[in-house]
Structure 1
């Protein structure tokens, strides 16, 4: 699937190999198999098959090296290795990511101190938690009548399941205790339940986490008209007569610059680099980079009460730590504008006495993600002069929480303590609010709109207004304020865009 001899022209260019770029490749391979497709990824291939989740690498040393190679210009910089590092105020990225070096905060604003990226085949899909909840209430995009069918298709592409942890001994305990705490007055869809996850369990019991490899599927990997080029930077989208006509690329191994003609270009480079590519191309609609939103994340930890270790709880068949407590979901609602996920921590975030052994799976982390007020002035800006580590226009993030945002965070802090006490004994007195950018769920910067009203970048099919043949993809296309993990929604939107392209190619 990987290739190096760049083509002179193809039908479709896809910029970025994360789950959204992979969704375009998959739908086109299924629906327009006659179309030639070239995918360009700025980072290296770090896993086998290309785009697979690094959690599936059993050897710890190889897994750590795959994470390091995903860190782009930040490779080998210090990363967060335990929950306490974030609490200490250290400005570090997670393993497999690297931080925006500067421009992450403007004086007088909140900024995004830990805005982060991954540069590797598979993008953030090689490192994510694989949570795939559906949007609820105001998270939903009301001008898409086919949203539920698109979400169904996204679940197919990502390999979403809800039963991977059914055999986990503490999963039902956590879920039952949360249900007692939150289900009163909620309809069935909003009650505490199993988290939909892009993960399945092999016959030997080992968990397999979905990355872009699962989204590609065999149909893409075996498509002779699809090629993936890693370590290749797309510097700009080319246009002819106002229409997308291809891309300019730079081979990061040799430094050589090439042009590749295309009938259609899809930019799926992530929530910050997708608008960067458009800006560098001179494609600058008024809404580009605007309405940027993240999800403020509040975290807490508790130790499950009245649980006991089994004889084989300590180690899984593969030698990896077992997952004992599963992942439980508390859905967003307009009345309670945050989304919760409760899952096992591999280690206690606070020191415990030596004579107080930890029962595997008994330490659970609680996280509430808060929906944010959308503001026109929350944005990512790009320089016409300064450049980043790849030579692309440097970024400055303008971002502030509103009084209502602060109020929602305070409500989340109170709620997470209540939930922690419901499931067990809290390990700390107070919850911790993660620095902005920590969720990695950057949205809105190339937002979708029902009409070309100047407040959006692309159409309901993800085609950029005024630039036929140019599509954008990723969490950045989502136009609503969400609290749930956005990947399922963004892949659903990618399905819609890919279908539009497939129809135009026939």
Structure 2
């Protein structure tokens, strides 16, 4: 695996929010997220400073601003996703994600892997989602002994009894019963013990021995090279060209020289996020470059989706707060926590312990209300309450709508203009579609109704739509599909058309024998819920296809290319048994995965 960024955590790809600083003060984590994100495409006009000192240098033509820090001379302001950003480090955005892991709702969000057989499709998703939940360690019970969580949850259940309000499913676990601290799960939970070199050769339940895993940091995957020349079908990737971005460490000369080298493999998986995955494929010449004459992957970067995001913060209603201190009908753990807090801090006007866990409540997507809502107190790149109010009575409301993958909405890459890492500069051409426009408006009204049931708005955080892209749930850039598309002019006919998607539902790129894609960009549908669990599910399905292909052809020289004529197969239940059976030796025990480092011993005898 190559990673263009560095390893920023002691344990590779672990969640930064696990540090005690941020467990104590969630608002401080906002700045960590801000520091991790890099904007994808910034219009030059966004960098114009009219108030600049007249004596200071300024360019004669603002459209020709220096191409640094995401500035893009091709980016228009009116159709940009200005808040779309990426994280470059081992673990990527999983080092600061919210860990929210809902499933997509059938009929509203969930893609159809087997569109001709609803029962088979339902069974496939049930299996994949169960395995994905176990792999990343999803729970809905880690905040059940939080006063604030239960207060918000019960208030909303009473106010909206038909909305299926529930605890937000999260990839995390509490360190101990009654502890104020949780361990947030991240990509390290997927890696698990893969970095333990002492386990090399360890057999799994099927007696297959573990191989070696190499992680190359500060290393750019530049492009893929085919070994089949100009072929447009049955294409085979021969090597991946990569560059050590810190090569000057090894050059030994005053003038550092780029160090390029090749990685040869049987199978290549590009899973670098919804922006960098198509970027690598575009740089390989497969498609996606503006005005490219011939495209091997014509759907690359096209029909992108994102989520209109509405946000506000409230201060809990006085009656709700007063009820927290009325203990007659409260469970014993609640009474003990409030009484202990009052005894320790008799002058505190709030009956809420300082370390009471935050609320984590979800209003899921449902028919008639096709948006996803998170009512919680968590850190994003915005929404820091700061000293304006006691954070114990602040509640964040985030409502996510959906947008369809319209053919006019795309992520295109520029010729002759590169980003700061030397890759083709991405440009967004995106405008909200009319199909779901009314949904966003109804969602805003719904959010205000929910907010009014909880309290009053925090000044400065009244209901508002956030900048497009801020949800950071970009989809569709390397979308999966069936290779078939209904023709508008002859709707009774179906035409095989690989131009409507990048890969099949094995995540194998059309016409390629050994190239796969992964991540949120593979999701082809309009979705409102958080996409991570669905991306994991699709990735697990892809691994089965890769394993089966290499079992049939261990050399990797005669793998079959992806074509629409190939019949997709359900994932065998036995293949994912290690993620379903808690008695399996390889079942991931997230609570025993890793204990915090509490001491350092030097020169131990």
TM-score (norm 2): 0.66
1:131-160, Cα deviation, whole Å (9 max, x unpaired) = 001111320112342112111111111111
How far apart are the structure 1 equivalents of 2:276 and 2:542?
A: 19
Moved more, 486-495 or 142-151: 142-151
Matching of residues 158-237 of structure 1 within 5 Å: 158-184=136-162, 191-203=164-176, 204-219=179-194, 221-222=196-197, 224=200, 225-237=212-224
Would you say 1:240 and 2:227 are equivalent positions?
yes
**1:46 and 1:66 in contact (8 A); partners too:** no
Moved more, 256-265 or 169-178: 169-178
Question: Counterpart in 1 of 2:487?
Answer: none
How far apart are the structure 1 equivalents of 2:37 and 2:216?
A: 18
1:289-325, Cα deviation, whole Å (9 max, x unpaired) = 011111010011222222257344999xxxx973534
2:93 to 124, 128, 153: 124
Matching of residues 39-188 of structure 1 within 5 Å: 39-59=1-21, 70=36, 100-102=70-72, 105-106=75-76, 109-137=78-106, 138-144=108-114, 145=121, 146-184=124-162
1:221-245, Cα deviation, whole Å (9 max, x unpaired) = 4564111111100000122122122
**1:378 and 1:400 in contact (8 A); partners too:** yes
Q: Match of 1:361, SS? A: helix
Higher relative contact order (CA 8 A, sep 6+): 1
Label 1:65 to 1:326 Cα distance change in 2 as closer, same or farther (>3 A). Answer: closer
How far apart are the structure 2 equivalents of 1:409 and 1:99?
A: 31
Would you say 1:324 and 2:357 are equivalent positions?
yes
* Cα deviation, residue 66, structure 1: 7.3
> How many corresponding residue pairs?
430
1:440 to 434, 448, 472: 472
* Cα deviation, residue 122, structure 1: 0.3
How far apart are the structure 2 equivalents of 1:489 and 1:214?
A: 16
Would you say 1:449 and 2:422 are equivalent positions?
no
Q: What 5-or-longer segments of structure 1 have no aligned partner? A: 1-38, 75-97
How far apart are the structure 2 equivalents of 1:112 and 1:272?
A: 12
1:417 to 439, 448, 452: 448
**1:105 and 1:113 in contact (8 A); partners too:** no
TM-score (norm 1): 0.79
How far apart are the structure 2 equivalents of 1:391 and 1:158?
A: 33
Moved more, 290-299 or 422-431: 422-431
1:168-216, Cα deviation, whole Å (9 max, x unpaired) = 11212211222233332x5xxxx01011101111125421111110111
* Cα deviation, residue 350, structure 1: 8.6
**1:103 and 1:397 in contact (8 A); partners too:** no
How far apart are the structure 2 equivalents of 1:230 and 1:69?
A: 19
Cα root mean square deviation, aligned: 2.9
1:67-126, Cα deviation, whole Å (9 max, x unpaired) = 68745799xxxxxxxxxxxxxxxxxxxxxxx9843368525x432011101010000000
Q: What 5-or-longer segments of structure 2 have no aligned partner? A: 41-67, 115-120, 201-211, 229-234, 248-257, 288-296, 326-337, 346-352, 485-496, 552-605
